Amino acid sequence: MTWLSRNLPYLVAGISVGGQYALIAIGYTMVYGILRLINFAHGDIFMVAGIIMVYASASMPIYVSIPLVLILTVLLGFTVERVAYKPLRSAPRMSVMISAIGVSYLLQNLVFYITGGLTKQYPALPWLGDSVTVFGVTTKRVTFVTPILTIILVVLLVLLIKKTKIGMAMRAASKDFETSQLMGIKINSVISTTFIIGSLLAAVGSLLFFTNYTGVSPTSGAMPGLKAFVAAVFGGIGSIPGAVLGAFLIGISENLIRGLGWTTFQDAFTFALLIIVLIFKPTGLFGEKATDKV
Amino acid sequence: MKKRIFSVMMSAALAIGMLASATTMAATVKIGVFEPASGDNGAGGKQETLGIQYANSIAPTVEIGGETYDVVLDIVDNESSNDKGPTAAAQLVGDGVSVVLGSYGSGVSIAASDIFREAGIPAIGVTCTNPQVTLGNTHYFRICFLDPFQGSVLASFASENFGAKKAYVLTKLGDDYSAGLGFYFTKAFQALGGEVVSETFLEGNMDFASYITTAKNEGCEVFFAPTSTEAAALIINQADAQGLTIPLLAGDTWDSNVILNAAAGKNVQIYVTTFYQEGGNPEFDEGVKEFINSTSVNLANNGGDDTVAAVTAMGYDAYFTALEALKAAGSTDAAAVNEALWGTTYEGVSGHIEFDQENGDAVRDAAFVKMANTETAAWDFVAQQTTADID
């Protein structure tokens, strides 16, 4: 029992941060699934959502600023796709990736300019930010809310993809980009929808993440973004359940490693795990098999 | 990379400004300000720079060898980074400064030390407390106390005031200041018969939940975290979230309104050691507050309110120490200033300043201990500790 009460806080923290990584990872994996593009700007969109919240909450009540953050983040994701990726639709994939890196630095530098390079304190959200004690673990309520909310959002997303018309269009586009276009699928609106969903989930993720870890700086998106990307690769990039599972695994493993006292090696271990999985399953846990077209 | 582009642009703008001013003024002497304005220590660096700027606004000219010189501050951003610091330092060398002030943060001062040494330019460390900064060189001076002293003060404070037998020490990997102060605290605390649990965190880490859990699990009685203010805010937040009731102890970096704002309204106890206590010199406090409130830029650089940070007082003293050295040297030549610094003394707002003749460290034997008042969001004076107290 004492063993459990000693180690439960690490596990709870791991599950929580895993849920936050999952919400970001979905954005990576969906965009990759359809465009075969690694959207390097995704972590920065997550960070910008945090910054918007900092400024919004300073001038308006919480129940206005939260929807505003979601809307503005979605708008940002949509605009980035329209301005930086759409004109390059027929260009080699490498060009789009370079464009994504450009957007990433642009967003970081903009925030750097606005904040003066200093870390901004994230506002304390009522209810979510309160301390609670469950099973002897004292932490913020957001820690327990995160995994539940993540699961609900993922189930909704899977339903959207499996049951709706736009979901069917997304699946078709991810199977074969050109043929789906020939079949009359409006590919641009499918891609926009993908970016909108990805950005929305990143915004929700930022609300949860920064409520727990309350400092937003221009580079705050880098580490969570990288971990979420790793989670997406880990689970098999393109697969939503894979990304979610990968994110939880990474979140839990890095916190358990800290619990064992090897704090210095937490990231090394996470990335070593990635290498091992990729050696045995090169396409990730749930990755699609590469089929050679003749 | 992105920061570099930004800093290149900034420095280009600055250089143009310098050229423009150089053509209009007759005799000028340049004092380099080598401070972080971004990165982990950006908040503290800006406050230290404010002290220097305030001092410059009070004494914009200096009498050197019978001639009046205008003092021009050449401010560069070392980005709190050991890789980028030397570039900023090289820029000061290129601008031909007579003496350099800074930096906030020991690591970046050590990283830039060789650049100044090779150029023969003396530097005055303002609040870099790691012994390595001045050890074994003749060009780096400093006006603050050192970490071995600060570590002993904190260790004896922990054991005497809280009766602590077990301490948790959290330091940042690759940060000279953090690792150094953690080391000296550990040494002093163990010498007092205490036990230490130490852990490290990496650059960019935001998740301090597990560290707090470990401190609780191990039954530690004090939590010592010599970290940047950026990490500090996150640590305070997590400590409150997990209901950590043991006192948080830290060194001079935590003496910042970033900490006060993070702790406001939370159930945490925070104690820090520092160089200056607000109220120590009411005249200075009043003047600097007026200066901070005079423009919105200054106010933003001080973190949005007019709490006087100890580093601001130290920056102020450093500027006047540099002026004393310039006067004594009787020339703007860097080598002459370096020579003159050994004998320079100054009565600053933070106390008497003179340098020992071995490393050029300030002869200081007193530190203030302050506690963060979570209701008023201000520092409460706790004690003044001197060398005599800790022996």
Beta bridge partners of B68: B63
B262 and B385 assigned to the same domain: yes
B183 and B228 assigned to the same domain: yes
CB contact under 8 A, A220 and B207: no
Q: How confident is the model at residue A49 (pLDDT cuts 50, 70, 90)?
A: very high
CB contact under 8 A, A263 and B210: yes
Beta bridge partners of B369: B273, B383
B224 and B257 assigned to the same domain: yes
CB B277 within 8 A of CB B381: yes
Residue listed under structure tokens 């205490």 = B194
As a whole number of angstroms, the distance between CA A22 and CA A37 comes to 18
CB A235 within 8 A of CB A285: yes
A175: contact with B, CB 8 A cutoff: no
The enclosing domain of B260 has a CATH number of 3.40.50.2300
Q: Assign B77 to helix, strand or coil.
A: strand
B62 and B189 assigned to the same domain: no
Which helix (H) or strand (E) covers residue B338, if one does? helix B334-341
Average pLDDT of chain A is 89
- Split into its structural domains, chain B has a count of 2
Q: List % helix, strand, coil for chain A (3-state, nearest 5).
A: 75, 5, 20
In this complex, the residue of B3, B39, B234 whose CB is nearest that of residue A215 is B234
Please report the pLDDT score of residue B160 as a whole number.
Answer: 87
> From the CA of B249, how many Å to the nearest CA of chain A?
20
Relative to beta strand A131-134, strand B28-35 is: unpaired
B251 and B381 assigned to the same domain: yes
Structure tokens at B26: 């007759």
- Name the closest residue on chain B to residue A128, using Cα atoms: B241
Write the single-letter amino acid at B320: F
B266 and B386 assigned to the same domain: yes
Q: How confident is the model at residue A272 (pLDDT cuts 50, 70, 90)?
A: confident
Lowest-pLDDT choice from A52-61, A82-91, A250-259, B94-103: A250-259
pLDDT of A264 strictly over 90: no
B373 and B259 assigned to the same domain: yes
Please provide residue B258's backbone torsions phi and psi, each rounded to the nearest 5 degrees: -60, -45
pLDDT digits (tens, 9 = 90+) for A237-256: 888 999 999 999 999 988 88
B265 and B153 assigned to the same domain: yes
In this complex, the residue of A121, A212, A264 whose CB is nearest that of residue B173 is A264
The CA distances from residue A277 to A26, A261, B343, in Å, are 19, 24, 64
Count contacts between A and B (CB, < 8 Å): 106
CB B316 within 8 A of CB B52: yes
CB contact under 8 A, A213 and B240: no
pLDDT digits (tens, 9 = 90+) for A143-197: 889 999 999 999 999 999 999 999 999 999 988 888 888 988 999 999 999 999 9
> From the CA of A147, how many Å to the nearest CA of chain B?
16
B243: contact with A, CB 8 A cutoff: yes
Residue B201 domain boundaries: 147-274+368-390
- Name the closest residue on chain A to residue B36, using Cα atoms: A117
B207: contact with A, CB 8 A cutoff: yes
Structure tokens at A101: 């890196």
As a whole number of angstroms, the distance between CA A102 and CA B233 comes to 31
* Rg for chain A, CA atoms, rounded: 19
Among B75, B80, B210, the strongest candidate for a mutation testing the A interface, having the largest count of A CBs within 10 A, is B210
Burial B92-130 (b: 16+ CB within 10 A, else e): bbebebbbbbbbbbbbbbbbbbebbeebebbbbbbbbbb
B14 domain-assigned? no
Listing DSSP states for A214-242 in one string gives -EE-TTTTHHHHHHHHHHHHHH-TT-HHH
Structure tokens at A249: 């695994």
As a whole number of angstroms, the distance between CA B154 and CA A282 comes to 52
A150: contact with B, CB 8 A cutoff: no
CB contact under 8 A, A117 and B5: no
Residues in chain A with CB shorter than 8 Å from the CB of B81 are none
Q: B276, B174, B160, B179: which is closest to B224 by C-alpha?
A: B179
B234: contact with A, CB 8 A cutoff: yes
B384 and B249 assigned to the same domain: yes
- Name the closest residue on chain A to residue B264, using Cα atoms: A124
CB B177 within 8 A of CB B104: no
CB contact under 8 A, A118 and B43: yes
Q: Please list the rounded mean pLDDT of every run of 10 residues in chain B (391 residues).
A: 61 58 67 90 90 94 90 92 91 93 90 92 92 90 91 90 92 88 93 91 83 90 92 90 90 89 89 88 92 91 87 94 93 92 91 89 87 88 77 56
> From the CA of B82, how many Å to the nearest CA of chain A?
17
B11 domain-assigned? no
Which helix (H) or strand (E) covers residue B32, if one does? strand B28-35
CB A173 within 8 A of CB A34: yes
Q: B19, B116, B98: which is closest to B62 by C-alpha?
A: B98
What is the ipTM metric for this complex?
0.77
B105 and B138 assigned to the same domain: yes
A135: contact with B, CB 8 A cutoff: no
Relative to beta strand B28-35, strand B67-77 is: parallel
Please report the pLDDT score of residue A294 as a whole number.
Answer: 53
pLDDT of A290 strictly over 60: no
A121: contact with B, CB 8 A cutoff: yes
- Name the closest residue on chain B to residue A138, using Cα atoms: B242
Which helix (H) or strand (E) covers residue A98, if one does? helix A93-115
As a whole number of angstroms, the distance between CA A190 and CA A174 comes to 10
> From the CA of B207, how many Å to the nearest CA of chain A?
6
B38 and B141 assigned to the same domain: yes
As a whole number of angstroms, the distance between CA B384 and CA A212 comes to 36
B221 and B269 assigned to the same domain: yes
As a whole number of angstroms, the distance between CA B104 and CA B81 comes to 11
CB A24 within 8 A of CB A205: yes
- Name the closest residue on chain B to residue A133, using Cα atoms: B242
B39: contact with A, CB 8 A cutoff: yes
B45 domain-assigned? yes
CB A240 within 8 A of CB A65: no
As a whole number of angstroms, the distance between CA B299 and CA B292 comes to 5
The CA distances from residue B80 to B175, B257, B293, in Å, are 10, 19, 26
Among A6, A101, A118, the strongest candidate for a mutation testing the B interface, having the largest count of B CBs within 10 A, is A118
CB B145 within 8 A of CB B122: no
A109: contact with B, CB 8 A cutoff: yes
As a whole number of angstroms, the distance between CA A261 and CA A255 comes to 10
Please report the pLDDT score of residue B58 as a whole number.
Answer: 93
B2 domain-assigned? no
pLDDT of A291 strictly over 80: no
CB A131 within 8 A of CB A138: yes
